[in-house]
Every structure is written in C-alpha cells, then in structure tokens.
Amino acid sequence: MLTKKGYMLVGLFALAGVALSGYLSYVNLFKKGCTDTFITCSGSTGPVEILGVPNCVYGFFMFLAVLILALFGLKMTEKKGLHTSVLVLGVIGTLFALGLSIYEIFWLKPDTLPACVYGLFFYLGILITAWVSSRAKTEPEQRPIQ
C-alpha cells in the first residue's frame, strides 16, 4: 500500500508528466506542430498521431489521471483500490511510452531525443514507486530470533 510519501512521489512524477505532455499538447493542438520548441515530439518529423490525435494528448490525460489518484491518496483515509489503480496506470503508461519511444527512436530516427522518452522516465518513476510499495506490503514481517 502506498504511504503518504509514496503518493507524494507518484504525484510529483505525474505533475512533471502533466507539465511536459500538457505543454506539448498545447503546442501541437494550437500552434500546429512541435518541431520548433525547446523539446520536440520526435525530432524534425513532427508529432506521432494515434487516431488523428497527437500522442502527447493521450499522455496528458493518463498523467492527469495518476495525479488525481495521487491527490486522492493524500487526502483520503480509506485508500482501497487507489494503489491498484496507480499501479495499473503505471504499467499502461510505461508500455504506452515505451512503445512510442521505440517507434520514434528506431523507425523515425530523430535528430534529438523524443519527448516520449522523458514521459517514459516519469511513468517508470510512477511504476517503480507503486511496485516497491506493493512488494513492501506483501513481504512478511521479520522478527528477530530470541
């Protein structure tokens, strides 16, 4: 079970992800492209789109969902199901960002590191925090031998 410290750490990773993907979503949707920004979607090739929507928009909503769960985890006393939800979103987000990162790096071959790689690091932080806390919960309590 995630502790308050764990929810804070997950929230920080999610907040960083919301900031990154929110910025890229804004640039892609309202400025029509992210090739001239300080961080690029996938180098000079432009954004990767899924069903006509830039992938950073999907990342934004997934990071936002994790951030909301982390805030609930900090405020609520009964956290049943929150930890599992954070863990599941961490797995889904990691797989999503990993797949996009592999596609962008090996198929599109950008000049710079694509933004999906940064999103992958944020999702890995969320996943590792949730995983480590779930492992700590299931391990039996060790008592000293008397």
Nearest to 69 by CA among 101, 53, 98, 93: 93
Domain membership flag for residue 94: yes
Domain membership flag for residue 12: yes
The answer, as to whether pTM is greater than 0.75, is yes
Range of the domain at 10: 4-135
* pLDDT tens, position by position, 80-105: 778 888 888 999 999 999 998 888 78
Domain membership flag for residue 15: yes
Domain count, the chain: 1
Q: What is the pLDDT of residue 34?
A: 65
Q: What is the pLDDT of residue 4?
A: 78
* pLDDT tens, position by position, 52-65: 777 888 989 999 99
CATH number, domain with residue 59: 1.20.1440.130
Sign of the Cα pseudo-torsion (75, 77, 79, 80, in order)? negative
Q: Mean of the pLDDT values across residues 17-46?
A: 75
